[in-house]
């Protein structure tokens, strides 16, 4: 009999707790080891950051503005011309040599500002210098250079091994995905014909 009374009391207590929990909307508590997440974006609807970004992209597409550094401008223009020329004639050996030389010089300019001996281990290098290098290489003219280099490397006649090992990582940041893949067979018939003549 006492067992029946005990089970009945437990059933009433469980029902009472369940109904009161349901009436409060099934609240639960959870503990997070990271704490409360706070928003990091400060933009609001109608702010000027989106307009400023659109303006920068428009300037990059329609102008050749730069930071007026004559040394960097020379590197930028050489890389822009070499990338455009190679995209139009990917089987020309002189265009390939010009592209490799201009892209190498452009990457060395970046590495000189960044001053990081091994970009693959960038976590050990100065963030301040990295930010300076990124800012120097983000002018509208740089946007055009990067687009031209990306288009050139999409022709797939150049491989990573064509560049010196010390700047290869920097070159990959400017080349787009085209340099990551194997060379294209576009120029193979021409290369075979040249080899058979020798």
pLDDT digit string, tens, across residues 106-140: 999 999 988 887 777 777 888 888 889 888 888 88
| 67: Cα separation from own chain's centroid | 22
Does position 62 have pLDDT exceeding 70, yes or no? no
Mean pLDDT value of segment 87-101? 91
H helices of 24-69, in order, are 49-62
Nearest-angstrom CA–CA distance, 83 and 147 = 9
> What's residue 168's pLDDT?
86
Does position 79 have pLDDT exceeding 90, yes or no? yes
Does position 162 have pLDDT exceeding 80, yes or no? yes
Which of the two residues, 30 and 69, has the higher pLDDT score? 69
* DSSP track, 22-33: HHTT-------T
pLDDT digit string, tens, across residues 171-183: 888 887 777 666 6
Q: How confident is the model at residue 58 (pLDDT cuts 50, 70, 90)?
A: confident
Nearest-angstrom CA–CA distance, 151 and 149 = 5
Mean pLDDT value of segment 162-179? 83
Nearest-angstrom CA–CA distance, 159 and 182 = 7
Task: Classify residue 55 by burial, with Cβ atoms within 10 Å: 0-12, 13-18, 19+.
Answer: exposed
Q: How far, in Å, are 3, 35, 86, 105, 106 from residue 112 at the CA level?
A: 84, 41, 26, 10, 10
> What's residue 90's pLDDT?
87
pLDDT digit string, tens, across residues 7-55: 898 998 999 888 888 887 777 765 555 566 676 666 666 667 777 777 7
> What's residue 100's pLDDT?
93
> What's residue 6's pLDDT?
87
Does position 75 have pLDDT exceeding 90, yes or no? yes
pLDDT digit string, tens, across residues 99-115: 999 999 999 999 998 88
């Amino acid at each position: 009999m006492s067992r029946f009374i005990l089970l009945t009391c437990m059933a009433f207590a469980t029902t009472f707790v369940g109904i009161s929990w349901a009436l409060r909307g099934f609240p639960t508590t959870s503990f997070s080891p990271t704490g409360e997440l706070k928003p990091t974006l400060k933009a609001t609807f109608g702010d000027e950051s989106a307009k400023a970004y659109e303006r920068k992209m428009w300037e990059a597409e329609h102008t050749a503005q730069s930071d007026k550094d004559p040394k960097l401008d020379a590197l930028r223009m050489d890389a822009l011309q070499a990338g455009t020329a190679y995209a139009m004639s990917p089987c020309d050996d002189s265009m390939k040599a010009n592209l490799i030389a201009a892209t190498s010089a452009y990457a060395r300019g970046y590495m000189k500002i960044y001053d990081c001996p091994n970009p693959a281990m960038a976590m050990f290098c100065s963030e301040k210098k990295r930010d300076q290098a990124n800012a120097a290489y983000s002018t509208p003219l740089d946007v055009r250079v990067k687009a031209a280099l990306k288009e050139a490397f999409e022709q797939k006649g150049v491989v990573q091994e064509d560049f010196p090992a010390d700047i290869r990582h920097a070159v990959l940041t400017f080349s787009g995905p085209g340099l990551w893949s194997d060379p294209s067979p576009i120029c193979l018939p021409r290369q075979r014909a040249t080899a058979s003549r020798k």
